[in-house]
Amino acid sequence: MEQTFEKLSQHPSLRRLHEVITAPVSRPIWWVIPGDAPKTLNYSQACRTCRFVQKPANRRICQRQFLSALEEARKAKGPVQFVCPIERHAVCLPVMQQDQVRGYLAMCHSEQPVPSAELKLAGLTVATAAQEMERTQELKNLSDAIQPRCVALSTIHTIHRLISSTLNLKELLPRVARLCCQVLRAQSCAIWLVDRQKRLLIPRAVVELRKGKSWTLRPCRVGSGFPGQVASTCQARLSKRMMVVPLVEEDCVGVIMVRRYRPSQPFSTLDQEILTTLAEQAVVAIGNAQMYETQERVTWGTIKSLSEILNSMEPYSSGRSLGHRILAEAAVAIAQKMKLPLSAQRPLQYAALLHDAGRLGIPQEILRKPTKLEPAEFAKVKEHTIKGARLLQPFEILEPALPIILYHHERYDGTGYPKGLKKDAIPLGARILAVANAFEAMVCERPYRGAFSVTQAAHEIASHSGTQFDPAVVEAFLSLVQSGKLQELVDSAGSKEIR
């Protein structure tokens, strides 16, 4: 309140009042007196101007009279003028807010009385300034009360956007854990999901923000330990340093636990409310991600079956499915090396399995021909990219994979087919598939030739960097060869057709 009163005394309209009143009266002493019923006055300022109050005994006389005038002004709720012991004139102006006296502005040591018109004006000015200050303070209080809630609401909204746009459970759960730590200023957070068949809680994400510390989680039985009890009762647990809330969607699907290690900041019931809100959002996102993953598995299974069927209809089909698996995994490994998002890796995987679907439309005698193809025959073979894309077009899920299938025989220098696209005009997925396809073709044994080793294949691909293949893709591919990842891939295929 004193701060407010201090501000009030600095108000521009009161400064103006100071000038108006000071003009006709000579060398006045101004007082800013906070509080409705002050018991003493601070004479440090007055002593510099008034010799009378420099003596303690006189100061007591002055103070008694001054305080009595203030009391009078408080009762009157208006200005009071009086004459001091040394026959100088003084004025007290009560400062009112909400009908309460918050303090006083006073002036003394004037040789003349303040004219009544100016006194009235002074009273009005003080009242107006006080009202304005009151409104400003009210607004500030309101803003101070509302802003944290608005920020919290906005945070919940941002978190909702972050987690609802994450459909990969492996990304979602650590993200939820990180956000819980952030919003609750917790040092660690863990999420378990319920395995209904085994009645177990399986740890799925853990975030530990303390440097050099780790939090190892093990599966726990539903019903035992803090997380297990919360999962079985669906009731949150709160202690000073730890909170556990259930993830409930009809039944309990998991629990979130957060921990703080600073005793000075214990968890409160408000923190529990916040964590419960986050858990409610998380459970919807988890449900969506699980549904999406199921759908992805079904799609992937369908595409694999489709690829198997298509391969079985081709000549020399023995080992092709295995080859396609190598091709798909090599393509995804290159894409990951090039830091392509997951949304771009999936279509590449689909395209890898189905890239030669169009060969079904090519006469068998051409595909089976053991000798070099005639130009007209090769022209027929080249149609397989267009035919494949056309064949798969009705599958909506394959839409992002179609450009990869259509252009996987384009060459970086523009001499490929079907359109002779150059460099970046060729979709990146198609440029990656071209390298993976060449790799697979070389490391797989064919009835008409033996298999290359990974090193030989890498050497061959490197020699066509910048002409047939995108140098950036080749660079990623070669670094995978160097790390031994592609050798591992070929070895794990473990077929006699593949070395």
Partner 1 sequence: MSGFSLTPVQRQILKFFQQHPQAVETVRGIASWLGHEAKVVEEALKELVGRRWLATDETSAVRGYALTGDRRMLTQIQEALEGS
Report the interface residues with partner 1, using CB under 8 A.
148, 151-152, 154-155, 158-159, 161-162, 165-166, 175, 178-179, 181-185, 187, 209, 274, 341, 343
Taking CB atoms within 8 Å and a gap of at least 24, the contacts of 80-83 are 81/113, 81/114, 81/119
CA dist 166 and 412 (Å) reads 35
Per-residue burial over 454-486, b if 16 or more Cβ lie within 10 Å, else e, is: beebbeebeebbeebbbeebbebbbebbeeeeb
> From the DSSP assignment, how many helices (H) and strands (E) are in the chain?
18, 10
Contact assessment for residue 72 and residue 140, using Cβ atoms and an 8 Å cutoff: no
Which lies closer to partner 1 via its Cβ, residue 174 or residue 361? 174
Asked if the bond preceding 403 is cis, omega within 30° of 0, the reply is no
Contact assessment for residue 498 and residue 453, using Cβ atoms and an 8 Å cutoff: no
Which lies closer to partner 1 via its Cβ, residue 64 or residue 185? 185
Which lies closer to partner 1 via its Cβ, residue 55 or residue 161? 161
Which lies closer to partner 1 via its Cβ, residue 187 or residue 465? 187
Which lies closer to partner 1 via its Cβ, residue 15 or residue 161? 161
Q: How far is the CB of 186 from partner 1 (least distance, A)?
A: 9
Q: How far is the CB of 173 from partner 1 (least distance, A)?
A: 13
Q: How far is the CB of 115 from partner 1 (least distance, A)?
A: 47
Which lies closer to partner 1 via its Cβ, residue 61 or residue 209? 209
- Residue 310, both tokens: 């298509």
Q: How far is the CB of 169 from partner 1 (least distance, A)?
A: 14
Amino acid found at 94: P
Beta bridge partners of 192: 203, 255
Q: Which residue has the tokens 């694999």?
A: 304
* Element at 207 (helix H, strand E): strand 200-208
Spatial CB neighbours of 205, under 8 Å, sequence gap ≥ 6: 173, 174, 176, 177, 189, 190, 191
Which lies closer to partner 1 via its Cβ, residue 211 or residue 496? 211
Spatial CB neighbours of 189, under 8 Å, sequence gap ≥ 6: 177, 178, 180, 181, 205, 206, 207, 256, 257, 258, 259
Which lies closer to partner 1 via its Cβ, residue 311 or residue 345? 345
* Element at 450 (helix H, strand E): none
CA atoms within 13 A of residue 52's CA, in its CB half-sphere: 14
Q: How far is the CB of 303 from partner 1 (least distance, A)?
A: 23
Q: How far is the CB of 382 from partner 1 (least distance, A)?
A: 36
* Residue 379 burial (CB count, 10 A): 11
Which lies closer to partner 1 via its Cβ, residue 165 or residue 233? 165
Contact assessment for residue 213 and residue 230, using Cβ atoms and an 8 Å cutoff: no
Q: How far is the CB of 254 from partner 1 (least distance, A)?
A: 20
Q: How far is the CB of 159 from partner 1 (least distance, A)?
A: 6
Q: How far is the CB of 296 from partner 1 (least distance, A)?
A: 16
Which lies closer to partner 1 via its Cβ, residue 229 or residue 277? 277
Q: How far is the CB of 333 from partner 1 (least distance, A)?
A: 22
